[in-house]
Amino acid sequence: MTRPLEAIASFNIWMEPWITVERPGGVARCGIEHALLHAHEYIAIYDPSPLVVAGIHRLLTAVLQAALDPQRRADLRKLLAAGCFPPTQIAAFGKQFARRFDLFSPAEPFMQSADLSPYPAKGDKVKTVAYLAQDIPSGTEITHYRHGSDDACVLCPACAAAGLVMIPAFATSGGAGIKPSINGVPPIYVLPGGTSLFESLALSLLTPDYQPRAASDKRDDTWWLRKPLVQKGKEVRDVSYLHSLTFPARRVRLHPERLTANCSRCGRATEWGVRTMVFEMGESRSKDAAVWTDPFAAYRITGNKPPTPIRPQEGKATWREFSGLFLQDAQPATAVSKKQVTMQRPGVLNQMADYGLAGDVRAFPFRCVGLRTDMKAKVFEWLDAGFDVPPKLLADVPSGLVVRNAIAFATTCAGAIGTVFRSAFGGNVKNQERFAVLKSRMQDGYWSSLAEPFRQFVLAIGEPADAESTRRAWIDTVVQQARAAFLETSEAVGDDAVALRERVRAEVHCNNLLNKLKRVELGGETK
Ligand SMILES: [Zn+2]
């Protein structure tokens, strides 16, 4: 099929409207330039998919990082005090690089490889564009949120752009030779919120001290600086920080067509749409390069092993990861034993705490976004959770320790009710535990009943109030909820005479154990 390239529309995401932003009283759509220039008038980026929100957040952060290039604390404080992004610097960036943001540019298509044809060409492995939208079924992936067939999938240019900007942060493994993006199996990303989109983005900018230590200063393949070519399966060693934020983990070329259709993702009528594309393995970071840690992800480090990011886990409420995601680890930096676990919160939070950037607020909002997979190609669900964190907690190690202990106590009690339940009702047959489903439902119910009390507890710890009484109140709540979850679940075991006897005995056992744990935690008794 040959058609003159001029026939292809242009859709330049620097100025064309494709980002939905929330503003007081509604939403608006805009391009990158407008979003940055008016960021102080908007509340946040909006999209039904949190992955798209995080993808756009990273792209805007990368642009601002390049345009403003803050070097020290004073630069960030000055920016925050100004209350908006400087138009001259945004315009200067646009003048130099706007051409690199055209989705359908024949020679420099945004986040695509220009050596591939913009039409399905002989020899190309053509795929459905559904692979770009994690919320539309494609290939072998699990269908969720929407049922439909791949063939029917059409994306409008705005939704195609949204799909492309998810790749650097969320590309997952996908069968033979298809590797995840620079951060491996996607971590939970922690995004600073704030009172406006401006504050959220300004607080995401990093001075060189807080950028990834493994970032290269020798080579810079940031999207708008590099040649618009992505080699299939290429391993790269030297990755700059901005290259990481725009990391082309897939070699893509969209096939735009003039058509009359409604976009399968947003439902809008579109004159230009994308049904097919080339979508194959792009760049990955070579395994022998120094460990890459993303400044928006948190890591768990066991002994002297390489850090592993905190990722969404099945059945684990995100607030249970609160200390790893938000708190500074109090562990000493001395010789670490092989099993000792230390946590490393996102670098962006270290910068906020060290520079005192969270401001004079009761609590600072963060948004956590993740994608739960089977560590391979299967995608199970999104994670999208908001947390309000008092600035005091970000900076103060002792208050952090109180929160850490609070979560540890809740975990101990979860273990206790699980053990009592298993021994009372689980039966004696090895590997054939009775009521295992009930037990796990009990645990889920217990953890979700503690989510709101935990939120209140965190806010109270940030207050100058009596920390000891806050701690005691938390211990009481945890024990109450543990007991309630146990009682409620044991009722479901049955009410014949045998079951009733078992239940009475188990309840006594459970109460005794919880009371003992409480006394120990309050300091009245040793284990
Ligand atoms: Zn659309």
SS3 letters across 400-413: HHHHHHHHHHHHHH
Residue 478 within a domain: yes
Burial of residue 489, with CB atoms counted within 10 A of its CB: 0-12 exposed, 13-18 middle, 19 or more buried: buried
Q: Residue 201 and residue 36: Cα distance in Å, rounded?
A: 9
Separation in Å, CA 178 to CA 66, 357, 481? 30, 40, 45
CA of residue 156 to ligand 1 center, whole Å: 4
**Residue pair 41/196 in contact by the 8 Å Cβ criterion:** yes
Q: How many domains would you assign to the chain?
A: 2
> In terms of domains, do 116 and 255 share one?
yes
CA of residue 369 to ligand 1 center, whole Å: 21
Angle at 322 between CA 317 and CA 327, to 5 degrees: 170
CA of residue 143 to ligand 1 center, whole Å: 19
Strand partners, 299: 309, 344
Among 265, 285, 305, residue at a domain's last position: 285
CA of residue 345 to ligand 1 center, whole Å: 35
Residue 40 within a domain: yes
Tell me what pLDDT residue 276 has: 95
Among 285, 307, 328, residue at a domain's last position: 285
CA of residue 59 to ligand 1 center, whole Å: 19
CA of residue 98 to ligand 1 center, whole Å: 22
- pLDDT per 10-residue tile (average), the chain, 527 residues: 58 97 96 98 95 97 98 98 98 98 96 96 92 65 47 90 96 84 95 96 98 94 97 95 97 94 92 94 92 96 91 91 90 67 94 92 94 77 92 90 94 96 86 87 95 95 86 97 96 88 94 97 71
Which of 44, 352, 77, 60 lies closest to 197 in space, CA to CA? 44
- The beta strand positions in 159-317, using DSSP E, are 189-192, 235-236, 250-262, 269-281, 284-285, 299-302, 308-309
Residue 335 within a domain: no
Q: Residue 439 and residue 485: Cα distance in Å, rounded?
A: 10
Q: Going by C-beta distance under 8 Å and a sequence separation of 6 or more, which residues neighbour residue 473?
A: 457
> In terms of domains, do 144 and 278 share one?
yes
CA of residue 264 to ligand 1 center, whole Å: 7
In the structure encoding, which two tokens stand for residue 510, read together?
């459970």
Tell me what pLDDT residue 144 has: 43
Structural domain including 482 reads 397-527
CA of residue 134 to ligand 1 center, whole Å: 13
CA of residue 149 to ligand 1 center, whole Å: 16
Residue 82 within a domain: yes
CA of residue 31 to ligand 1 center, whole Å: 15
CA of residue 157 to ligand 1 center, whole Å: 7
Q: Going by C-beta distance under 8 Å and a sequence separation of 6 or more, which residues neighbour residue 419?
A: none
Tell me what pLDDT residue 428 has: 80
Among 241, 262, 285, residue at a domain's last position: 285
Question: Looking at residue 132, what DSSP letter applies?
Answer: G
Residue 295 within a domain: no
CA of residue 161 to ligand 1 center, whole Å: 9
Residue 330 within a domain: no
CA of residue 33 to ligand 1 center, whole Å: 20
Please state whether beta strands 235-236 and 250-262 pair in parallel, antiparallel, or not at all (unpaired). Answer: unpaired
> In terms of domains, do 410 and 274 share one?
no
Which of 510, 524, 512, 513 lies closest to 472 in space, CA to CA? 524
CA of residue 146 to ligand 1 center, whole Å: 14
Q: Going by C-beta distance under 8 Å and a sequence separation of 6 or more, which residues neighbour residue 157?
A: 9, 11, 16, 18, 103, 104, 256, 270, 272, 273, 274
Residue 495 within a domain: yes
CA of residue 100 to ligand 1 center, whole Å: 21
3-state secondary structure of 224: coil
> In terms of domains, do 254 and 112 share one?
yes
Residue with structure tokens 């009775």? 434
Which of 205, 211, 200, 242 lies closest to 76 in space, CA to CA? 205
Within a 13 Å sphere around the CA of 456, how many CA atoms are in the beta-carbon half? 10
CA of residue 127 to ligand 1 center, whole Å: 18
CA of residue 374 to ligand 1 center, whole Å: 28
> In terms of domains, do 265 and 413 share one?
no
In the structure encoding, which two tokens stand for residue 80, read together?
């925050």
Q: Residue 244 and residue 247: Cα distance in Å, rounded?
A: 5
Helix axes 397-425, 436-462, angle to 10 degrees: 160
CA of residue 271 to ligand 1 center, whole Å: 11
Helix axes 87-97, 50-68, angle to 10 degrees: 100
> In terms of domains, do 521 and 401 share one?
yes
**Residue pair 266/156 in contact by the 8 Å Cβ criterion:** yes
CA of residue 47 to ligand 1 center, whole Å: 11
Neighbours of 73 (CB within 10 A): 15
CA of residue 131 to ligand 1 center, whole Å: 14
CA of residue 18 to ligand 1 center, whole Å: 9
CA of residue 270 to ligand 1 center, whole Å: 8
Residue 219 within a domain: yes
CATH of the domain at 519: 1.10.132.100
CA of residue 159 to ligand 1 center, whole Å: 4
Residue with structure tokens 């970032």? 215
> In terms of domains, do 278 and 403 share one?
no
